[in-house]
Structure 1
């Protein structure tokens, strides 16, 4: 028998007191203890045909966020192109300091490692397992997520393209994998809905005889071969079709797009088309990536970056709610309904701080809105796809299109809970359109991003759609976070910029293509593209085989006049007999955002034998490029920035404005305290504008900007004297 202790009530009270005291002490110690870094596992390939995720982009994002303070992010990377992926997964999942792992790359790898990771209570986020079969297989596993949309959307988009292109017969080749099975299962219905007939379907293994497969396809006589295969199979299939003398085009799904394709096929890759996931163009991620690394992002770079965002945000939520299950924390993160926060390191760091403080921001990513339905294995509700063509040895992309309705918009105005606490100045950028126009707005963002990489400041972004909000804020002076410098782009902001500057004399305004307001806090930059367009006219007149050239402009507005007049004058100076036709997409500002209408006009000009077109239609230029690919035998000249990447074999040159340099210059002056009011004029003579001759055309035409430079400068001065007294 056990003796009964005396005074049980006192003992219970003392015990309770000790527990409470220890709890209070523990809480105090916890608050003072550094929680240490957020360690995130990464299981992705660094080399080989499947290396399309950009681990370097992942490392850049983590480093950029770390520079902004907050809890340190550490990536624990294991290269799955070397070693055993299961062993790598066992190692990372077995670590107590890693709760979230980004990867793997393929559905076959997912089958290998998902149990090893999720059954230990860890989260697994894949940026590139797109097969639809995964949704059902992992329906009950709330610890598996993916940041890429499922392939059902891609199948639909591919056959929409064929319908629009007038393709009636295709052969379908699919890998004998879960990825290929998705396309084999869904393609017949998508084809039937779009009036396309599948003349034959082949499921292949890497051990198959590809020459025999090519011969079979030849008997089916398709117009296009659709191949849902991986890069190695894509290369072998392309070679077999070429050897068989097939006239059918080859169209690859997203898994087939890889630098391996270009390196293996060389010139034989020219003309291959396909579809792949794309960053959301309105976020500017692709521009930032190109600035950071010198190349366009790889196919799954944006989705990989978004996996990092979800991991960082989930860790922040765990700090605020440590008892919450990991999967519940991630579900909470993607259901935010507060201030919208974007993908970039500044926005991401702010979002993480808000989450740690108990706020619930609406987070978006590089690939689009980070919104998920049930189950988590289904992937995001919407993403972006782009059609690509191999041209000039590179992947040339068309306009990205969303897989579902997406509300395009910039991140929210205010930063809560610590608005205005940064050490550097606050810079507001107001674009004419949201990013993604591949012209004026994108070039300005390039300069802003470049400045962010160089200087310490806080940026906020707006577009013309925010005009009423900005009017209200500037007129009332009701700033959550007051800007030191405001940059507005485009003639459409002239009246607004003047009113804002007059009402806020302590804020500096840097305006592009507007007016000299005569205010001590305003500087306006005018870029005169007459001389550069003059050179473009000379080049077009030299190129034309028909004696007919043209220009497709967004609208007959003042900012377009020097383009048109310079182009016409240069062409006539080279050959007075050349006919120049100018057509306008619209009558006002909206004409710069209508790619379909711009494409229609380009087709009409081609029917009139116009074989060189100057594109000055803003984001509508992508429609002109699409039309040029269809009609053939026509060359293009881009605007504002080097647009050769739109179609390397078609865009012979671009009339460039150094918008990125001007924006960088504006921010640098603010940082240095050297803001100067008045007007700056940038021309061909002082390097503010110029004609950039595309690679592939430079051997024949690079001489023109040199030989005709002085005549173009003289003509530009005459124009400015007459038009800009």
Structure 2
């Protein structure tokens, strides 16, 4: 991640304290017991700066806008560990009477160094990134040491499982001579044996070592892959040494090495390096929100750092309710809640803090997943998410994160009456849980963007909640009655009609369903025919085999304009080009079967197809994985710019401006401009389009030269097709 210019950073660097004192309306000076102060010991610069101090500052600002902790402002007391003595900082913060919780440090070695300084004062230490298994052993009985990251034993399982699945049989391990590296050196033999991978040898290194000699020793072992459990500086040295010695082995890095420093140091030499790292829970939408706020993907430990803040805030709320309880007991109670589910975002977190302050026990989830812990807090959460990444086009490109243990995505639940703010209540109903990197995620992007602009209370549901919603709307038995309900996808066509007819006092905004002709319903139809026509022109121009294809989730009506437009565009450009269309499934399930989609992609490649339009929702990730295996198939994404999936392969995307439409629906409810009927969004009016990745800007001519013909073809299509 390249450092982003922000007005917050100069404040952090100059005075080392983030202080946001925006109090909720109605609070008076006499009622304010003072801010809730939370210590932070994390680096702001250097190779280990992957926690997002900016993200913490934004979270504090947003939480304070929602009222802080029962009207008390939240304040971060930040010390930059990359610019000073961490032990001295730890002693300082732990010695303050107004700080009960400290977030940090960055590494396991630092944790071992400062934990006694913090916990001997009775203060809680929560590290978002000290992943060594030795921390668990060292502080097994210390109830004041917590982690929001999973221990490295789970990461080793993910690494060796990934390598086995991709055909790697022989691995050489390089581990840093640190507490972190020691965990990998100790646990790797068992993890390799469990997966049937042969460990050829283990080398312990320090940053000052001669890596050319290290690479030579590795070469004698003859591994297929070098797994390096090191920090970014060592990783860069190892990568260069392997290349210099002509080693054919690939390089696979652990989470500690994933840093902008790696790419900045190696440049193009970083291409193709692979690795794994902790991730946010994709079903929460945290990564989408972060990108909306900061214009870039969150760094490696941003979600875990955000969750450390949540735990600190919730502990403070519990302390308000039970001041005689120890901070450790308060935090243990917080993570043992079994009530209504509350999510990570500032609205949900503020509601959770209010409930905890009132003595309730919500089930809290964070940006990284459920905040559930076992008996020993130092072991970290019971489940975390890992993502595999590859450096492509100078970026860390991730696959869909997977959980280290069984986790069922759970959207936050409704609150008790009166929890909503002054604005309207808007319900968003997705076709599936967030994390599809397509339809649902794009809708959430628009919803989050609206929340950043307007005052309203949002609630989220998915297709899994259909039975519950049917019952609530039929009985009109609302805990919180919505003012507007947005439903996304053809799956809800019958349900939306029934709900709207039964509840004439609630407005319904539907996406791609039907014009119900009701005074309280508006349907937005996005017709991607013209944009897909342009994609067909591009694909017909790009193909070297004369064979292009489309892989769709299912043969359903919403897919038809994609397929028909793609066929028509290709035929218009070159009638000799062959277009093959394959479907992942027969119905809705086909949009969530990435392995099946990958198998179809491999079949198409064997048949000579070298350009593929992906219109299969979350199944698209399987298509991308298959394309990476040969790197000679170009891809066209759907719904949103999907070039981040594989920058070197995804040339363009047929985009539906779902985020803009959801934002428009929320804004219409807030400002009172809701209009019933049908809205048709097309290539002509900007509701759809072909987004060409900047890496393939040479194809900008497609829209410039073929736009008018695509619009005309789309009008002809609309004249005969039902929308």
Deviation at 1:631, TM superposition (A): 3.0
Which structure 2 residues correspond to residues 344-363 of structure 1 after superposition, within 5 A? 344-363=345-364
Partner of 2:327: 326
Structure 1: distance between partners of 2:237 and 2:683: 49
Structure 2: distance between partners of 1:581 and 1:78: 58
**Larger radius of gyration between Structure 1 and Structure 2:** 1
Is the 1:357–1:417 Cα contact (8 Å) retained in structure 2? Answer: no
Which structure 2 residues correspond to residues 599-678 of structure 1 after superposition, within 5 A? 599-678=598-677
Is the 1:173–1:226 Cα contact (8 Å) retained in structure 2? Answer: yes
Q: How many residues align?
A: 693
Normalised by the length of structure 2, the TM-score is 0.95
Question: Which digits, 9 at most, give the CA deviation of each residue in 1:147-178, with x for residues without a partner?
Answer: 00000010011111111111111111000111
Is the 2:417–2:480 Cα contact (8 Å) retained in structure 1? Answer: no
Which structure 2 residues correspond to residues 419-568 of structure 1 after superposition, within 5 A? 419-420=419-420, 422-568=421-567
Structure 2: distance between partners of 1:300 and 1:200: 30
Deviation at 1:32, TM superposition (A): 7.3
Partner of 1:243: 244
Q: Which runs of 5+ in 1 are unaligned?
A: 1-30
Is the 2:341–2:410 Cα contact (8 Å) retained in structure 1? Answer: no
Partner of 2:10: none
Partner of 2:573: 574
Structure 2: distance between partners of 1:567 and 1:140: 62
Structure 1: distance between partners of 2:416 and 2:147: 29
Matched position secondary structure for 1:552: strand
Partner of 2:44: 46
Deviation at 1:196, TM superposition (A): 1.1
Matched position secondary structure for 2:174: strand
Deviation at 1:33, TM superposition (A): 4.6
Deviation at 1:245, TM superposition (A): 1.5
Structure 1: distance between partners of 2:385 and 2:634: 28
Structure 2: distance between partners of 1:646 and 1:712: 27
Is 1:34 equivalent to 2:35 in the alignment?
no
Partner of 1:282: 283
Partner of 2:138: 137
Which structure 2 residues correspond to residues 201-280 of structure 1 after superposition, within 5 A? 201-280=202-281
Deviation at 1:74, TM superposition (A): 0.5
Structure 2: distance between partners of 1:321 and 1:407: 32
Partner of 1:418: 418
Structure 2: distance between partners of 1:149 and 1:110: 15
User: Cα RMSD (Å) of the superposition?
Assistant: 1.2
Is 1:696 equivalent to 2:691 in the alignment?
no
Question: Which digits, 9 at most, give the CA deviation of each residue in 1:339-396, with x for residues without a partner?
Answer: 0000000000000000000100000000000000021100000000000000000000
Structure 2: distance between partners of 1:418 and 1:98: 31
Matched position secondary structure for 1:549: strand
Structure 2: distance between partners of 1:518 and 1:335: 48
Is the 2:281–2:401 Cα contact (8 Å) retained in structure 1? Answer: yes
Structure 1: distance between partners of 2:147 and 2:213: 37
Structure 1: distance between partners of 2:673 and 2:455: 16
Is 1:102 equivalent to 2:103 in the alignment?
yes
Is the 1:419–1:480 Cα contact (8 Å) retained in structure 2? Answer: no
Question: Which digits, 9 at most, give the CA deviation of each residue in 1:458-491, with x for residues without a partner?
Answer: 0000000000000011111101110000000001
Q: Which runs of 5+ in 2 are unaligned?
A: 1-28
Deviation at 1:34, TM superposition (A): 2.7
Partner of 2:397: 396
Structure 2: distance between partners of 1:289 and 1:507: 31
Deviation at 1:35, TM superposition (A): 2.3
Q: 1:283 to 1:616 in 2, by over 3 A?
A: same
Is 1:707 equivalent to 2:708 in the alignment?
no
Deviation at 1:417, TM superposition (A): 6.5
Question: Which digits, 9 at most, give the CA deviation of each residue in 1:554-600, with x for residues without a partner?
Answer: 00000000000000110111111111000000001111111111111
Is 1:128 equivalent to 2:129 in the alignment?
yes
Structure 1: distance between partners of 2:533 and 2:258: 39
Is the 1:603–1:631 Cα contact (8 Å) retained in structure 2? Answer: no
